[in-house]
Amino acid sequence: MTATFHKLTPDDLAALRAICGDDYVLTEKPDLEIYGADETEDLCFLPEVVVRPSATDQVQAIMRHCAARRIPVTPRGGGTGLSGGALPVYGGVSLSLDRMNRILEIDADNLAVVAQPGVVTQTLQEAVEELGLFYPPDPASRGSCVIGGNVAECAGGPRALKYGVTKDYVLGIEAVLPNGDLIRWGGKLLKNVSGYNLAQILVGSEGTLAIVTEVTLKLIPLPKHRIMLVAPFEEGEKAAVALTKIFRARLIPSAAEYLEGAAVRCAEEKFGKSFPQSDAEAHLLLELDGNDRSVLEKDAETVGEICLAEGARDVLLADDLARMNDLWEMRRGIGEAVKAVSIYKEEDTVVPRARLPELVRVVREITTRHGLSAITYGHAGDGNLHVNILKRDLSDAEWTDRLPGAIGELFERVVAMGGAVSGEHGIGWVQKRYLPIALGPVELDLMRRLKAAFDPQGILNPGKVLPDET
Ligand SMILES: Cc1cc2nc3c(=O)[nH]c(=O)nc-3n(C[C@H](O)[C@H](O)[C@H](O)COP(=O)(O)OP(=O)(O)OC[C@H]3O[C@@H](n4cnc5c(N)ncnc54)[C@H](O)[C@@H]3O)c2cc1C
């Protein structure tokens, strides 16, 4: 299928200019280089052209043209993806939705927001919060990723623990199929079982089935109070056990992040700020929220007692906004800080949350046995740990020899624990070889047929998600 893709000709460029306007069709190398990369390692695949439509009918026209000419199209949001989903690996068109960035409606009566795909996630969150409403999914990249990318990746983030991930908020969707047809499914409805749920099929489909051009998201009331706790531990596993005990006490924090000391120290160095007791081996960063301050304080006390009983050195409380924001800023910057240390490979492991202590142990055991070093952090409350394997001073040969075996074994163990090969970063380009560890031939074949039903020519984001058949 991919062998028959066509290269763009001057006529194709003229057609795209007629659809979007000259200023929004980019062909200069510096532009192509920006759209040829995302946040996945140091990969870059240049598109032949970048197009920046401003409306759904333009997206339709672009897809009609590309379908007729068999030109590959890769949708692009904020370009913060960590599995290479927005990389135009077959060249063709990088379709940026950045100009479709309007919040169309905040409906406080129906508790819903209607947005275009290019709205920055943090912008949407702040707009609804001004009205006392809450859109909880908050990937750490929320200042630069966009709603379309979040829907395509089913983005999670720290608050998934209590509030769920993007799929739990998508009520309705408008999308353009690879042949240019428009589909709409759902709307401001909490209940809707009218046929197959096309909106949820698109959630997490990584831009391989259709291009999201509008989305209706559920909102909830904004909790009035928040309290944050930081608990440093001498042993990472004990931090993970403490978290399990917090759940056993029937408490669900609004966030429960696990940060290895090494990750915290990278962030301290990068941002020139201090984190409490950063010499500890691991930290739990916990947040509780609610409307009744006294209940919250009591719950925070219980959480603190559990951490101390499990060996936390101390439990530090932050309840003023400035300090909480400061700690969150450091937490959100940890990924960037760790990746600045060395060439790296990030794995997005996820297991049932009660198996977290085992996951912490397994990561250390496997990476050490393969002669690799790793720094781990993530959304521990969801059993979701980001394992950053670092090259440091290994030779290129040692790095390429050791890495595949270690990653394969890690995912085998994760899947044996009831886990999956990606919790929230998606499969995209870089993880597709590991998908058969988690899924059997029947599931993979069904996915291939689903892809063919949406995209019979295979022009939309080719090379992603599904493993190569050879
Ligand atoms: C520092 C950092 C922290 C991060 N933290 C988190 C985190 O806490 N939780 C989390 O889940 N992720 C996290 N991520 C990963 C990333 O931010 C998310 O996957 C995010 O959802 C990607 O959104 P984006 O707009 O940048 O999409 P892009 O990277 O541009 O694209 C991602 C995928 O979506 C597709 N796509 C984009 N727009 C559309 C559209 N309109 N229609 C159809 N397909 C589309 C693309 O083709 C691609 O496959 C983090 C990334 C970074 C760099």
Ligand 1 pocket, residue 156 CB under 6 Å: yes
Nearest to 287 by CA among 296, 298, 278, 274: 296
> Which pLDDT score is estimated for 3?
54
Atom of ligand 1 nearest to the CA of 74: 47
**Distance, CA of 248 to CA of 229 (rounded, Å):** 18
Task: Name which of 50, 61, 56, 57 is nearest 24 in CA terms.
Answer: 50
- What mean pLDDT do residues 305-334 have? 94
The answer, yes or no, to whether residue 454 has pLDDT greater than 70, is: yes
Six-digit token pair at 422? 């990606």
DSSP string, 39-68: SSTT-----SEEE--SSHHHHHHHHHHHHH
Q: Given this model, what pLDDT does residue 469 score?
A: 82
Model pLDDT, residue 4: 86
**CB within 8 Å of 99: residues ≥ 6 apart:** 24, 52, 53, 54, 118
Q: Whose CA is nearest to atom 23 of ligand 1?
A: 149
User: pLDDT at residue 336 above 50?
Assistant: yes
Instruction: Check pocket membership of 336 for ligand 1, CB cut-off 6 A.
Output: yes
- For residue 470, pLDDT beyond 80: no
**For residue 319, what pLDDT band results from cuts at 50, 70 and 90?**
confident
Q: How far apart (Å, rounded) are the C-alpha atoms in residues 285 and 258?
A: 7
Amino acid identity at 354: A
Residue 100 Cβ < 6 Å to ligand 1: no
To which residue do tokens 């390429």 refer? 400
> What does the pLDDT look like over 3-30, one tens digit per residue?
589 999 999 999 999 999 999 999 999 9
Q: Which of 62, 82, 208, 422 to mutate to test the pocket of ligand 1 (most atoms within 8 A of CB)?
A: 82
User: Are 275 and 264 a contacting pair, CB within 8 Å?
Assistant: yes
- Residue 206, sorted as left (phi over 0), alpha (psi -120 to 50) or beta, turns out to be left
Angle 374-380-382 from CA coordinates, rounded to 5° = 125
* Rounded distance from Cα 263 to ligand 1 centre (Å): 22
pLDDT tops 70 at residue 390: yes
For residue 149 the two structure tokens come to 């990318």
State the Rg of the chain over Cα: 22
CB 389 within 8 A of CB 345: yes
Instruction: Give me the pLDDT at residue 1, please.
Output: 46
* pLDDT for position 139: 97
Mean pLDDT of 173-183: 98
* Mean pLDDT computed over 407-421: 98
Query: Does residue 204 line the site of ligand 1, with CB under 6 A?
Result: no
Our answer on whether the CB atom of 118 is closer than 6 Å to any ligand 1 atom is no
Residue nearest to atom 13 of ligand 1 (CA): 139
Mean pLDDT confidence for 360-375: 97
Q: How far is the CA of 462 from the centre of ligand 1 (A)?
A: 17
**Among protein residues, the one whose CA lies closest to atom 46 of ligand 1:** 86
Q: Could you list the beta-strand ranges (E) of 144-254.
A: 170-176, 182-186, 211-218, 220-221, 225-233
Residue nearest to atom 49 of ligand 1 (CA): 85
pLDDT score of 271: 87
Mean pLDDT of the 127-131 span: 98
Q: What is the pLDDT of residue 453?
A: 98
- CA 167–ligand 1 middle distance (angstroms): 14
* Inter-CA distances, 429 with 74, 141, 467, Å: 12, 20, 9
Query: Among 40, 54, 80, which is best to mutate for testing ligand 1, by the most ligand atoms less than 8 A from CB?
Result: 80
